[in-house]
Amino acid sequence: MIRSALMNVMTGAALKAGRGLKRDFGEVENLQVSVKGPGDFVSAADKRAEKVLFEELSKARPGYGFLMEESGAVEGSDKSHTFIIDPLDGTTNFLHGLPIFSISIGLVREGQVVAGLVYNPANDDMFVAEKGQGAYLNNRRLRVAARRDLGEALIGCGTPHIGKANGHARFKQEFSAVMANVANIRRLGSAALDLCYVAAGNYDGFWERDLQQWDIAAGIIMVKEAGGYITDADGGPDPLAKGTVCAGNDLIHRALLALVKQA
């Protein structure tokens, strides 16, 4: 596990917010739910977790800016540092009682992600990564899978929900192209965890489009620090700016990217 002062701050904030999510998850049927848009739900638990994260991180790192899913951008006096936060990635899973959701915190320094944390309160999986320090799940060092043959690969993806109907046709083409060339495909519903599973070697690769920065900031450095490759879904160098991702080890990433681009 990484023991830096920064990671201690991020871990402490995530654990505190996670306690509330864990409690609310146990009473999911009683949550007050509002609707932001078709198929895109936000719960009272989501907002409470974000408040805790903002308070804890701003107290420990005064002056840092924030970009948060629910509250948007908060400018800080320190223009070179920004925390990018998703307090509940996998809200639909959460509201349906599926224990696949996460708190995601990424720290950007001068435009580059330098630290990331993804925490699933349902099973206490804590993924952390810091530039030059590696990536870890709890106390285990992470490395991307070593498979070289796309035909043996398990690939993760994200599917566009009902509110993203304009992406359905493209996804169907990409899914068909990938499905015909890999061992199998999974869709779990939390892009932050999906990227961690690439870093841990559970997935051999992952791709998704139409994402927000808070969905992927922490996952980007997780994959890189685990020895993986990550670009946008068209092969560009800045997935955070483009809001699309394609990740894997060197060969699987290259082969998966080719399939997605050709589709």
List, as residue ranges, the binding site for Mg(2+): 69, 86, 88-89, 215
Residue 63 is which amino acid?
G
Nearest C-alpha neighbor of 178 from the set 153, 197, 147, 213: 153
* Cα-based distances in Å from 197 to 29, 79, 201, 202, 219: 29, 32, 6, 5, 9
CB-side exposure of 54: number of CA atoms within 13 Å?
Answer: 20
Instruction: Return left, alpha or beta for 98; rule: phi > 0 is left, psi -120 to 50 is alpha, else beta.
Output: beta
CB-based contacts of 194, cutoff 8 Å, min separation 6: 156, 158, 188, 203, 206, 208, 219
Instruction: Provide the token pair at 158.
Output: 């994200």
Number of residues written out for the chain: 263
Q: Which residues are annotated as a binding site?
A: 69, 86, 88-89, 215
Instruction: Provide the token pair at 110.
Output: 């001068």
